[in-house]
Structure 1
C-alpha cells in the first residue's frame, strides 16, 4: 500500500457560505466516487480557496459529513496569481491505496476543468 495524492477543484458562482459548503461536498463526493475511497483510507485533506472566497471554511462541510469527523483537514489561501481562476476551491487528498499513480482519477468540476485539462474528464 502507498500514499497517493488525489487532486480536485471546483468553482462557485458567488462568495456565498452555502455555495462554498455545497461545492465542497460535491467535489468530495465526486472524488470518492471516482476513486472508490472511504474515510479510513484518507490520511489528510488539504484545501485551498482563492482569496475571493471568505464566507465559509470548506473544511466545515467535510467535518460535518458522517464518517469524516476524524480525518485531518486544513484550509489555506491559494497563491493569488494575477489572472488566475476566481472563486475556486482546490483539494489535495492524501490516501492509502493499492492503486498505482496512473490509476488515480483527479476531479476538476465546472470552470475548474481549465486548470488541468489533461486530467479533467469530459
Structure 2
C-alpha cells in the first residue's frame, strides 16, 4: 500500500468551487499514477478553516467509481502563515509502485507546499 498526496486551492468558499477543485485534484492523482478506484483503500481530505461551504469528500463521492470508496473529511490545523483556501488529499492505494514512482499532485497555489515534487 502507498500514500499519494495531493492539494489544490480554491479562490472562493462555495460548494461549486470546493467540489470542482476536489474532483480536479483527485482525477489528476488517479491519472498520473494509473490508479483505479477499486485500488483505493481510503481517501482522507482536509480543508483549511476558511472552507465551510461543503465537505471536499462530497465532490469526490460524485466521481465515477467512488460510491464504495471510504472517504473521510477533517479540518486542517490552523497554523500562522499557512496557505489559505486549501484542500489536501491523501489516497491510500494498493499498488506495486515504489515510493519514488508515485506522482504527488499539487495544483493552484498549493504548488508552493511541495515545490520539490512539482514538475
TM > 0.5: yes
Q: CA deviation at 1:83?
A: 0.7
Q: Give unpaired runs (5+ residues) of structure 1.
A: none
**TM-score for the superposition, normalised by structure 2:** 0.98
1:80 maps to: 78
Partner secondary structure for residue 22 of structure 1: helix
Q: How does 1:1-122 map to 2 (within 5 A)?
A: 3-121=1-119
For residues 26 and 65 of structure 1, what CA distance do their matches in structure 2 show? 10
Partner secondary structure for residue 97 of structure 1: coil
Partner secondary structure for residue 94 of structure 2: strand
For residues 6 and 21 of structure 1, what CA distance do their matches in structure 2 show? 19
Q: Give unpaired runs (5+ residues) of structure 2.
A: none
Q: CA deviation at 1:63?
A: 1.2
